[in-house]
Amino acid sequence: MYTNQSSKTASMIPKFVFGFIFFLICLISAWGKNPNVVIILADDLGYGDCEAFNPDSKISTPNLNQLAREGIRFTDAHAASGTCTPSRYGLLTGINPARTGVLNTLLARGKAIINEEEETLGDLFRSRGYHTHMVGKWHLGFDYPNQKKNKWTDQPLPGGPVDRGFDTFFGIHSSAGSNPMTWIENNRFTGEPTEPFTYPKFNIKGESMTVKTKTAPGFSVEQASPTLVKRAVKIINDHANKKSERPFFLYYASPIPHQPWAPMKKFVGKSGLGAYGDFLMQLDWVVGQINDALKKTGLDQNTLLFFTSDNGVGPVAYKMMKQDGHMSSGKFRSMKAFRYEGGHRVPFIAKWLGKLAAGTTSESTINFTDFFATFAELLKVNLEKEFPSALDSHSFLTALYEPEKRLPRPPMIHRLNALRVDDWKWIHPGRTTPFEKTIPEEYELYDLKTDPGEQSNIAEKNEKRSEEFFKIYQAFNQNRKLK
């Protein structure tokens, strides 16, 4: 009796083991079919700063030109906002920052901007077996000890990338010139700023100033970008060397060309347009470093690579470049922090060797918030059931596969008081006027198809349309849940 039962039990063990092994094989096989994904995000790069998007650009960007030849240029792509923090929030969460009231000013609270219940692209990719990495500028806050924002601490920094879907993080909390000037590895500052340091910064008049501060040993504004791109390339090389069956997601948030403009020596004077132009050429080099690393390792054969910018060009660069005959916003109106097109329409390139039509252009309207739904569709994830927090994401996967078709997109809300519907742009001229204190007659209306520079306000000729857009925005405004 005992012997028979033992034999029966023993015979069951191999079946269980084989079943588990079969499950692992299936899972690994599924991983192998999904592409690696890399997002390169520039900081304050204007639409007109890239030759691939502005034939009249006076700044040479050969690596971006090459990437455009290898992929698809999206000419109607938009950051989730006109400034850093809300734009990055929308990119990672699929939530329109206007819905939750996310602005740069929230950073002053010393709290993490992304709540625990707001899942990120890191969470999405990790749910499908990806290794997830972030390198670069976070700018979405941490839960600082005692809420003392931007103060060095030897304590952990909760609420950052490694608590929001990323396996690893190496970078900086904000711009390279923001205190505390030190690296962050995963969830801790790596060194205390103790060494005196000075660097140049330009004011709105184009005048150079000297900023005095302190940095941690081994950290400087000049070495921020080179150090970060080395880390990104190392992640790519390590993945290739390990021959891992699991794909990876890399979010590389470049700190340039945001001020302080501190180009490497080999780029100083190269553009002929001063420090900003030189720094922009260094950004182009960064893109080349990452693209080349993928090619040299062979990972480009199954990597979906994106390049874009977090918002339009900064006001100081905009003014200085315009004086030198370079239009950083191209044909579009205004710059960073504005809701006119120059503030949020950004260069956008997608490349996937053998999968996407190289050297093509798409006119489909897309927003940073749409990354989430696009990747969900690519990975066959039920967005509504598994990641319901990504409320404002609409997949543009079809636009990647069929760039020649212009796909429709639901109304695109810009805070404050701006709306995009098809080719219509409806906007209140007051940058800080609360919606509740506006009336329909105060809004401007532009037809971007015939007037991409937003020069001819046709609101008076389209009163009914303006009233319709006012109601759309009113309905959105009533359902906002502010942080």
| 176: in domain | yes
| 374: in domain | yes
Q: What is the pLDDT of residue 27?
A: 44
Q: What is the pLDDT of residue 145?
A: 86
Domain end position, chosen among 358, 380, 410:
410
Q: What is the pLDDT of residue 150?
A: 75
The whole-angstrom separation of Cα 459 and Cα 462 is 5
Q: Report the 10 Å Cβ neighbour count for 72.
A: 22
Q: Is residue 374 located within the same domain as residue 449?
A: no
Domain end position, chosen among 351, 379, 410:
410
Stretches in the chain below the pLDDT threshold 50: 1-13, 15-16, 18-19, 22-23, 25-31
Q: Is residue 397 located within the same domain as residue 424?
A: no
| 16: in domain | no
Q: pLDDT tens-digit profile of 312-362?
A: 999 999 999 999 999 999 999 999 999 999 999 999 999 999 999 999 999
pTM: 0.93
| 3: in domain | no
Q: Is residue 453 located within the same domain as residue 356?
A: no
Q: Is residue 452 located within the same domain as residue 338?
A: no
Distance from CA of residue 441 to its chain's centroid?
35
Q: Is residue 178 located within the same domain as residue 225?
A: yes
The whole-angstrom separation of Cα 41 and Cα 77 is 13
- Domain count for the chain, please give it: 2
Q: Which domain holds residue 231?
A: 35-410
Distances (CA, A) of 212 to 150, 222, 379: 16, 15, 48
Q: Report the length, in residues, of the chain.
A: 483
Domain end position, chosen among 387, 410, 433:
410
With contact defined as beta carbons under 8 Å apart, do 307 and 348 qualify?
yes
Q: Is residue 309 located within the same domain as residue 445?
A: no
Q: Is residue 362 located within the same domain as residue 270?
A: yes
At 395, phi and psi to the nearest 5?
-60, 135
CATH number, residue 174: 3.40.720.10
The whole-angstrom separation of Cα 439 and Cα 441 is 6
Q: Is residue 59 located within the same domain as residue 153?
A: yes
| 20: in domain | no
Q: What is the pLDDT of residue 329?
A: 98
Q: Is residue 188 located within the same domain as residue 41?
A: yes
Q: Is residue 224 located within the same domain as residue 363?
A: yes
Q: Is residue 367 located within the same domain as residue 283?
A: yes
Q: Is residue 428 located within the same domain as residue 395?
A: no
| 7: in domain | no
